[in-house]
Amino acid sequence: MAKNFFKVACADCGNETTIYSRATTIVSCNVCGATLTKPSGGKADLVGCTVVEALE
């Protein structure tokens, strides 16, 4: 079963945040404002971050 949440690190500033894998809105970095994910076909498409850890 797929994990529903990911801990990700912003590619620009390294700030870590937790995102929902099926986020339907654009998620921005809290620190620098970079776009981290955007919705794509019912799941979040990681565009400006790297996955640190998959959470439950």
* Residues near Zn ion, by CB under 5 A: 10, 12-13, 15, 29, 31-32, 34
Nearer to Zn ion, 1 or 34 (CB): 34
Nearer to Zn ion, 10 or 44 (CB): 10
Q: Shortest Cβ distance from residue 15 to Zn ion (Å)? A: 5
- Cα 53 from Cα 24, distance rounded (Å): 20
Surface-to-core class of residue 10, CB atoms within 10 Å of its CB (0-12 exposed, 13-18 middle, 19+ buried): buried
Nearer to Zn ion, 15 or 21 (CB): 15
